Structure 1
Amino acid sequence: MTPDPFAPARLGPITLRNRTIKAATFEGRAPKGLVSDELIDFHRTMAVGGVGMTTVAYLAVAPEGRTERRQIHWRDEAMPGLRRLTDAVHAEGAAISAQIGHAGPVADGRSNRLPVLSPSRMISPLAMMPTKAATIADLQRITAAHADAARRAIEAGFDAVEVHLGHNYLASAFLSPRLNRRRDGYGGSLENRARFPREIMRAVRDAVGDRIAVLAKLNMDDGVKRGFGLAEAVQVARWLEADGSLDALEMTAGSSLLNPMYLFKGPAPLKEFAAQMREPVRTGIRIFGRTRLHSYPYTDAYLLEDAKRVRAAVSLPMILLGGVTNRAVIDKALAEGFEFVAMGRALLAEPDLVRRMQADAAVASKCIHCNRCMPTIYVGSHCKQFGTFAPARAAASR
């Protein structure tokens, strides 16, 4: 029997009021690298709209792990604001998760004014500068920083942490045979390439025990030649389950470094992206953007078929992401054995969508998947088509 998507459900040591999760999508509402009133309002609105849990994205475990300088990273100065944020969401009856991770080669080193770390030395197409190959000492420091971030998440009142193992952020870059050309114990075979992500997850679990839920977002397919693919993702999911470090697994796809549109599907908003970038990146997008920002046809539940391969290989709870727009898709996901669904663009367009679907099973998202919301992360994420949310008042220039 298919579970009721709007009934309470267990996620590790916590109970969510329903099976819907606001996916981690960068909000662009931390202009000074600290929680703002706009960020609190953003997630409070999601809670009022009915989600079981909202996910704050993205909270870097180290300063150089930010994608750019206007992001929160875990430190004493950030803690009071994070507590205000969790309190506001809890007051509306929802749970709240912190997405933690290290951007690695996806970081903008020029913005951060710090070295860009990657598994192997390369030229960063984002920062237009050479990266630094992470040393063993770097990996140990970053692993410990994930554990510290998870402990801080408990202190700040979060109910869960979602560890970012996707999109060619640092852990995902180690999984990629295209980006990881190391010849030590962290490169070569899949077992070696998966060592760093597994060490991160083990450290996080050891740090928090069963005090909060531990989730991971894992790529199924980087969407690039010689990248990490589905067969390897199935094996990594099996290892993570055997390690006992996870309460739930969310599968994703694409590379923020090399092929970002592979996750989102739909048209690539090249003009809007170029308008938000500094030179020379702005000109580069205008001239060469179509070689990196591809367009893909959109269909509802577009990651379901690949995610079912992982679902069949593991028994731990799983969250379906990608094209969850109506009750029929949610019911199909639950019937296929997924315990939860995650929604991104649909909730950016209509934050009250879950509450309305609960009241009327025929309600469907009005999001047209034009993807013009994507470049708004630099000024405060909002829906350009329907005007949902307003640009952040204190957004700084990029």
Structure 2
Amino acid sequence: MSAPDVFSPAELGPVRLRNRTVKAATFEGRTPRGEVTDELIAYHLAPAEGGVGLTTVAYLAVAPEGRTHRDVVVVGDRTLPGLQRLTDAVHATGAKIAGQVGHAGPVADGRSNGVRAITASRMPSPLSMQMIRSATEADLARVTKAYADAARTLVRAGFDVLELHMAHSYLISSFLAPGLNRRRDRWGGPLERRARLARQVARVVREEVGDAAAVTAKVSVSDGFRGGVTTETGIELAQLLEADGHLDALQLSGGSSLMNPMYLFRGAAPVEEFAATMPPMVRWGMRTPIGRSFMKEYAFEEAYFRDKALRFRAALSMPLMLLGGINRLETMQQAMADGFDFVAMGRALLREPDLVARLQQGVVREGICIHCNRCMPTIYSGTRCPEWAAGEVIPVAGG
């Protein structure tokens, strides 16, 4: 069969997208006090008006201790009206909207949140300088219910797709990684037990929303650190999730926000810029040799997860989204030829929100993002591309 046109309509579970392009979840930095703002809406309107089929809101926490920090939206009745305003605005452009739903686990800053973080096994937090406690049975039952409650609220708010975050060392991912999960109970040990939380969450969310929304998951092709999820483990997890039948697609990502963030981003490592945004103690730590090793540098190459993602494609029949360094029309077409169903783009659309429309119109054949990664430290003040001219920058709340 011939490869589909990346700009042709496609079905994602019960949702029809106008094309096969996805604005990947990238924390926006536009939710002060965890509230939806006009600036957040403008941020997502830009790629929606710029032609993407689906734009993804990040990051929507299911519980207060599941926020990465205090300015993250917690899904609930308080935030429902703002989320409805956001989905209404995006739908008016003809695009669909996804919400990345998750619990940050050890990636949460407990000091900022005012509540201790939880994870698979007790460990120190480099973010809060606190000990992160091991999740109890009661915690996991509560968090699982919180996922279902959040899913119900997001469907009420008009979200078309719910993306369950199972990567980057967030809570579910911390259970999957043997180096972070040293438990000896039914949540630790062999992969089938370490994957219990991921499968349980996918099941309750699907049972809650039925076919009112598509349900996807972000999974790792490799965490990029010793003791993390490997490609082999990622494939085994994906096969379990596929067999369960609760998900409409998987988005293939990689790296660890806690242990190796640059494995996801590739390109230059903005150590000094990132350190400048941190509290004094963390800033000092990042400038030590050990701290600098946290921000490893990987050479950028187009579609850098493709080789690993192809192994997932060969092992699975369910729809897959390719992520990681997609900037060129040629790459998008190759992804379709490889059998991927969607392409997800992050930095390329941050630099040029209208890139999809211009690629489709034949005005350009590739984006102009230089992968300097200086956008990374801006997540605390309003995520943006420093390469933009001043007149092109999307307004930032309070900025």
Partner of 2:154: 153
- CA distance in 2 between counterparts of 1:303 and 1:8 reads 25
Letter in 1 for 2:308: D
For the residues of structure 2 that align with 1:249 and 1:299, how far apart are their CA atoms? 22
Deviation of 1:147 after TM superposition, in Å, equals: 0.9
* Kept in 2: contact 1:381–1:389 (CA 8 A): no
How far apart, in 2, do the equivalents of 1:391 and 1:63 lie? Answer: 27
Measure the CA separation in 1 of the matches of 2:309 and 2:127. Answer: 29
Letter in 2 for 1:356: R
In 2, Cα distance between equivalents of 1:78 and 1:294: 37
Cα deviation for residue 391 of structure 1 reads: 5.6
Cα distance, 1:386 vs structure 2: 2.3
* Among 312, 318, 339, the residue aligned to 1:316: 318
8 A contact 1:214–1:248 mirrored in 2: yes
Q: Which amino acid aligns with 1:393?
A: A
1:23 aligns to what? 24
1:47 offset after TM fit, Å?
A: 0.5
Question: Residue 345 of structure 2 corresponds to which residue in structure 1?
Answer: 343
How far apart, in 1, do the equivalents of 2:171 and 2:80 lie?
Answer: 24
Give the deviation of 1:279 after TM superposition. Answer: 1.5
- Please list the CA deviations of residues 41-77 of structure 1 after superposition, one character each: whole Å capped at 9, or x if unmatched: 0001110000001000000000000000001011211
Give the 3-state SS of the residue equivalent to 1:178 in structure 2.
coil
Structure 1 residues 92 and 391: alpha-carbon distance in aligned structure 2, compared to 1, 3 A threshold = closer
The alpha-carbon deviation at position 394 of structure 1 amounts to 2.0
- Runs of 4+ in structure 1 deviating by more than 6 angstroms, as ranges, are none
Question: What is the aligned length?
Answer: 395
1:60/1:73 contact within 8 Å kept: yes
CA distance in structure 2 between the aligned counterparts of 1:163 and 1:131, rounded to whole angstroms? 22
Letter in 2 for 1:154: V
Q: State how far apart, in whole Å, the 2-side matches of 1:124 and 1:289 are.
A: 14
Unaligned 5+ runs, structure 2: none
CA–CA distance in 1 between the matches of 2:64 and 2:353? 31
Aligned to 1:385: 387
Match for residue 299 of structure 2?
Answer: 297
Q: Distance in 2 between matches of 1:316 and 1:16?
A: 17
1:46 equivalent to 2:35? Answer no
Q: How far apart, CA to CA, are the structure 1 residues paired with 2:179 and 2:47?
A: 37
Find the counterpart in structure 2 of residue 130 from structure 1.
131
Root mean square deviation, CA, Å: 1.0
**CA offset digits 1:151-207 (Å, max 9, x no partner):** 111100000100000000000000000000000000011111011111011111111
- Structure 1 contact 105–168 (Cα < 8 Å) conserved: yes
Contact kept? 1:379, 1:391, Cα under 8 Å: no
Displacement after TM superposition at 1:372 (Å): 0.2
Structure-1 separation of matches of 2:126 and 2:118: 13
**Residue in 1 that maps onto 2:168:** 167
- State the match for 1:369 in structure 2: 371
Q: Distance in 2 between matches of 1:312 and 1:391?
A: 43
Secondary structure of the residue aligned to 1:55 is strand
**Residue 83 (structure 2) aligns with:** 82
Does the 8 Å CA contact 1:160/1:214 hold for their aligned counterparts? yes
Partner AA of 1:137 in structure 2: A
Partner SS for 2:163 = strand
Query: Corresponding residue for 1:330?
Result: 332
Instruction: Report how far residue 214 of structure 1 moved.
Output: 0.4
Q: Distance in 2 between matches of 1:49 and 1:175?
A: 36
The one-letter code sitting in structure 1 at the alignment partner of 2:380 is Y
Do the aligned partners of 1:381 and 1:391 also contact (CA within 8 Å) in 2? no
* Inter-CA distance 391–374: structure 2 relative to 1 (3 Å threshold): farther
Taking the TM superposition and a 5 Å limit, the aligned residue runs for 1:188-267 are 188-267=189-268
Deviations 1:321-346 (A, max 9, x none): 00110110000001000000000000
The residue aligned with 1:64 is 65
Q: TM-score, normalised by structure 1?
A: 0.98
Quote the offset at 1:284 in angstroms. 1.2
Distance in 2 separating the partners of 1:329 and 1:119: 37
Instruction: Give the partner amino acid of 2:367.
Output: S
- 1:321 maps to a residue whose letter is L
Tell me how far apart the structure 2 counterparts of residues 278 and 392 of structure 1 sit (CA, whole Å).
21
Give the match's secondary structure for 2:382: coil
Q: Which residue number corresponds to residue 92 of structure 2?
A: 91
Q: Secondary structure at the match of 1:262?
A: helix
Superposition deviation, residue 362 in structure 1: 4.5
Return the offset for 1:254.
Answer: 0.6
Q: Helix, strand or coil for the counterpart of 2:33?
A: coil
SS in 1 for 2:16: strand
TM-score, structure 2 as length reference: 0.97
Cα distance, 1:363 vs. partner? 2.1
8 A contact 2:221–2:305 mirrored in 1: no
